[in-house]
Structure 1
């Protein structure tokens, strides 16, 4: 059979090798001891009478690094670790690994001869990357497994985000052991560790979930204590004389043995081996002496010519030992002033257990006390106990304690704390319970308390909790099963956080005309720092990304774009349960995914997960790809996902290759890289993705100016960028650029050996500029408007910034009021041609979703050298998505609204018309007409030439496409149509 013994569940792609490691123990020594007494056929370890499965699942690692040992998917090295708890080798051929979810399961048979040695491990490698080999596996975990230590089968791998249970069954389909995990247990390249059952069952106990994976290696607490059948538990090399006085010769030296098994052991033909510096002595046990199960035998080193009796011995130590409990070896005694090693050995001289001492350990009539080995060896561990010798009885701590483990541990999250509860232990002399957090002692509570609050925890971080008990002998039990819990996320609020601004800000005149508050930014009061904003059209939601400066998880909040009210807020995590504390510089929404930009990557979260998420829950990054930029912001439009970068001198540098000379001669050092997504998966096409850390070759590149914080593409026509020009005291700028993809590229650059087209966003393509308050960040399109968030309202900047704001701002991508028609020349009042014109008019259109009261607004009539302001002085309302007519009525003309309607064939009412008395508009000269707000800030502007004018015909205008307020002239020479517009004149949304 080829190395690795590979079983393929699906079709063979290439061979991979499973790994497993054998934990070295002194199994042979133990086995030799077991052969010396009746019942040696029992294969279980002698561990305080604990019954455990023959094959135990001791570790599961469902999430690992990739083949290149980088973070992400596919997981190349998932595994299950098995442990043989018996004293004989087991061939696992035809054993079954069962993977269960919900009511379904998959069974994978070990179809090769795989020998798992006694007290050793075998690793089952669940391989999803066919090209990986055993060397890759070893390198990932820093181990050196051989092919005989690992079995590999090909499969898609274990779930990282759902609860799962695994079983190991024998060829008769009998379940030997099982282990379960939850999504919160899963961490990349971290093992979920399990310990032996305490109840005699088959369900393994989860004891940790965030330690480095260690395939092939088990820790002491995972497996039953492996005890030698005979242990040396006490040595007293120096005692009083036979008359009870101090000095020599020592009359009562002894070695105490303890039988750890459930069976009596015949000591006849065993030996006490006394090791000196350069020699050793063997003292055989020749009598028919039996040491009872879980009992002691005292080996009395009796002076050769001594007269001490067993009664004297008992009197010296205050004991009542009988002759059946004592065996005498006649010798000169144990050294008091030299180091010595003593073993109990079988008839062949094989040591069963060994204990050593040095002169400093020796005190007259004091015993040197030893504890059980905890490393699988037969070497006894010396304690600090130096009290009067206790031949025939053990003291606390000499044997492993496995009883009185707390059960029923449950957790309940609170703000910055978790409350634990467990089933109280009664009748066992328990004095206290110890609380452990992530495996580290935290606190204790008295035995009459079985509820404890663990406070001071980081909110929204997952912790592992365990409880142990301490009895009246100060012996601590094993820790309980692990439970995981995350304290509640601090409630995210949406509230006014910045005091109202006072003073005059004329530089923001146009801003206030075109921008309106659209709801408070969530999380400012909780010290979140807003960065990006995206829009979910199906839900009419703004998505706002924000980070925290304390390293806690970043956040995505949801705000209803119509009402401005927060819907919910979620913490961002990776799929393996790790928090995402990144900058979250941008957020954008494609067809079925949400993308977070930071640190050179775009991170993907399924849109449906965000839609389904509840307030205060976690959302999970599923994967990422490298963009080739700093990934400071992101946007999406028409199947193309864009990642842009912030460049600012040497403080925020970009790749040197990004520095290009633009068409206007300026040097630009920042890129936006565009990626055409697969329309079927809404992700980077599989053929373009090498791995998540290799930058994907873009399909398009835009070269941008410095200090850009956000981008939005408006209706395939133009791109809008937000730019910061300094800090909290310096205004931001909103730039609009012409449609770029419809024009030939300005140049090409080579990326990953491919030629990529480049367009420059520079002064030659810039169409509009809008001055805005400081620290503008992300920007997104939402219908016919832009949503913009600012960082100025954070706790860091709000106190002394020039104009801090805690609002999302909505900026119309077209002016809120359009001039859609002008008729400078009309018929006379009697319906005949000539002058004076009786029915000149200007038509307005409201592009917003709300009615606008026009009182105080002005029509500005601009000539070559002067202008006239025609104020609307009465309450006149133009409905949402509706029109309003300004009738320029000459004072000398006697005409009514009925006459006006008759002239144009309309049926306008008085609420739809405002009559302004003036001498009328010029028919012979170029003129510019604007509609302005009450402060005189122009909203939109339309111009006409004498050649545009025909009597009674309207000059029609289309909405601007370049981000400016200037209307595009469409047509004339057709009868005026006051009160109605065509579809081409106004935005479709």
Structure 2
């Protein structure tokens, strides 16, 4: 390993390490184990590289491409002209920038080479280079904090002569193709693989026709040279599966048949009249099927990715009422679940009823389009009763990259139904995921088809049971929700005020609103948020910009039929005396680091500044600076395009982040996303950057060209507090402590 870049300039999106083949034979890098170990943890992380052959005397760059950027982005960042063969992209494992870390390459458990670095070795945008070891496997540090040179070596980094390795043969694969399979049945693939190397690695690669990438599973060695792998039954859905086998040793790779001409398995539905019942037990199970064990609501289709580029304006999911009664959706709560982090976001749907065995389409109408546009998009003729638009402020939109799920729970917080999806289950052509009801007693929907053509409002008969769940007729609810609340008596001027309440109902999960007003104004309504883990807990925040005098408030809750409300309460606001002449002339007033995606990155991140003077200010004398953590030495200047816009007195200017994925978006798209009316190069300008981090401490500074920092807005700077929420702004007020640090 000849070079490591642990901490790049753009949100670590260009970190990499470099590997050189110091032998006279080709090396299959994916044959080896590459591990990351940090002193901050006791374990290690294993990196799985894609199939990569490194020729003798050649160098390859392993790029931590967490932003799923292109090779052009990498070359532009480093001023290189590397090809896709010279740069391997990987994701999921990042460098530690605050502890000692070691990268090791091993053959089984034997270390071949390692490279280490510590916090003192790291500088933003600088690399470490290494010399070959004379007596051990640990690379020797050559130079620290150097200008990055991915793909290039100094002669002294490598020996004069390479290691001589004896020539060997490639593995030979013999396998009888599998051509047919039944839906929801395990598919077994067997192969005989001859190779002189006993530590051979064999993998089965498979995908559904139309998927962009293959999934892989290790083939286990049964005896001698016999290998075996299975495609699990839950992944065997109607369609055609393409597969091939790959066998790899240290220096050779064999593929059967080939990636471009794979074997094809046709997966068919088992026709009921042709189905063979082999045992008395199976026959009895079919006769005694308990339809009442199935979920009362079924998620039958999810569309995370609208066909074409740009913002996804036609995402939807489909619900089916699997009961004999009309169901009220106000009796349930809906959760958007992150399967890779266990994060939950509760969101609201309109209070509608769904009739027995009826299908409704819930359209995330973030573009505020008309129903005609939806029907035109999908060549349908659905009515307003069949398509229910929603635009919940808490729902971030479906992630195209997958690892997400929809969960529906009842008012007792019991899970009713669950449906998840992966990135490879959908694509930019608008393909969707279709589900069928769980065959066993469970709540998890089974995937019926992935990369399927969208069919909003239409459900295949195999997706739902032949009989619906029998539920008793609902009694009329005459009991209003019960609100328990402790009054908030005091607040600080221009600081947000949190209002909390416990709200319970005998039948449903109520919706609740806070009504708040100033002395001589009308009440405004603020919806209260529900805790997904404890749905009786409600919270809402009165924005700081509304807190400039004493406030009166009350809480109202409804179960859709009955209402209840608290008495009116008064909050005494402590007014601060501010020396306005001591405040900064330019203030950072809002930051939005996480927004609706365009392509695979945030499309509408922005920074807002305010001219806090009585005179216009020309931006040409100032720049935005992006700070990693709270260290001023890490600042990166973000110039705007254009940079000579004049900000009128007491007016704002918005800086829109252009990250390579949203280059084709217009200010009209920006305005549509936020319902704003900004004018390009007048009150909105662009900044070309990879964007703002969501999970780390960052600072946004407006500073003069000579380095005077007028105001600083930090986020994620308080331990265990995550300020970043999808499609939500972090709003700041002026500092009152005679510093230049804005207050959230």
- Superposed pair shares fold, TM > 0.5: no
State the TM-score, normalizing by the size of structure 2. 0.25
